[in-house]
C-alpha cells in the first residue's frame, strides 16, 4: 500500500496539544519537522547525532519519570540505532513513546532507499524488543489515535508512520548545540538548572 500521509502534517498533529511534553528529534528532517510545527524550548533537535534519538529519549524518560517523552525520528536514523529498541524494551519506561517518520529514504544524503523500502518492519522489531505496543500507521485516523496515546498510554510505545517521500523546505532550529542544551535544561528544570550538582 503506497504511503499517503505527509510528514509535516503528522508531526504537526503530534505536537498540536503538546503541553509539557518533552520532545527529542532525530537528526535532519525530523528536527526540521518539529521546528516547522513550532520551535519550543522543550524540544531537543539532534543536529548530528545519528542513531542517538531513541537513547536520548530513554535517558530523559528514566530521569524524569513524571514527564511524558516523545521521540520523533526517521527510519534511517532508527535503523542505525536499532539496539536502542532492545534497551528500551528491557528498561520498560512507561512514559516513553518512539515515533518513526518513515519515508523509506535517507533524506539527508540524496533520498537513497533505506532497508524499510525492502520490507524491514521496524514495528515488528519493536514488538520483538518487548515494547508494550508497536504499530505501523498509514491513515489519518490511525495518526489521530496515536496522538491521544502519546499523552496517556502506558509505554513504551512505538509507531512506524509511513509517509510520502517528499523533499520539503528546511525549517531549521538554532544550530548552536550548547544553546539548545541549556535552553532545554532550563525549560525542564527551572531555576535548579543553574545550580551545580554539589550545591543541590
CATH number, domain of 110, equals 3.40.50.970
Kindly report the pTM of this predicted structure.
Answer: 0.91
Nine cell digits for residue 65:
519519570
Owning domain of residue 101: 7-190
Residue 199 lies in a domain: no
- Write out pLDDT tens, residues 28-37: 889 989 999 9
Residue 1 lies in a domain: no
**How many angstroms separate the CA atoms of 30 and 32, rounded?**
5
Residue 60 lies in a domain: yes
Do residues 162 and 74 touch, judged by C-beta distance below 8 A?
no
Domain total in the chain: 1
Q: Give the length of the chain.
A: 200
Residue 42 lies in a domain: yes
Residue 88 lies in a domain: yes
- Write out pLDDT tens, residues 123-181: 999 999 999 999 999 999 999 999 999 998 898 999 999 999 988 878 877 777 888 88
Residue 197 lies in a domain: no
pLDDT-derived band at 200 (thresholds 50, 70, 90) equals low
Amino acid at each position: 500500500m503506497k504511503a499517503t500521509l505527509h510528514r509535516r502534517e503528522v508531526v504537526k498533529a503530534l505536537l498540536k496539544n503538546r503541553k509539557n511534553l518533552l520532545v527529542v528529534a532525530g537528526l535532519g528532517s525530523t528536527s526540521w519537522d518539529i521546528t516547522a510545527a513550532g520551535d519550543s524550548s522543550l524540544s531537543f533537535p539532534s543536529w548530528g547525532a545519528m542513531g542517538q534519538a531513541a537513547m536520548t529519549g530513554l535517558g530523559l524518560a528514566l530521569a524524569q519519570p513524571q514527564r511524558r517523552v516523545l521521540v520523533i525520528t526517521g527510519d534511517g536514523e532508527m535503523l542505525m540505532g536499532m539496539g536502542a529498541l532492545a534497551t528500551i524494551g528491557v528498561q520498560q519506561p512507561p512514559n516513553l513513546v518512539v515515533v518513526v517518520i518513515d519515508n523509506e529514504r535517507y533524506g539527508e544524503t540524496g533520498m537513497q532507499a533505506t532497508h524499510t523500502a525492502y520490507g524491514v518492519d521496524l514495528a515488528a522489531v519493536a514488538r520483538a524488543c518487548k515494547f508494550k505496543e508497536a504499530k505501523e500507521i498509514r491513515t489519518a485516523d490511525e495518526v489521530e489515535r496515536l496522538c491521544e496515546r502519546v499523552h496517556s498510554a502506558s509505554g513504551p510505545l512505538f509507531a512506524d508512520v509511513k509517509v510520502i517521500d517528499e523533499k520539503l523546505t528546511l525549517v531549521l532550529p538554532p544550530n548552536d548545540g550548547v544553546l539548545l542544551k541549556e535552553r532545554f535544561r532550563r525549560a525542564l528544570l527551572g531555576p535548579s538548572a543553574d545550580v551545580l550538582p554539589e550545591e543541590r
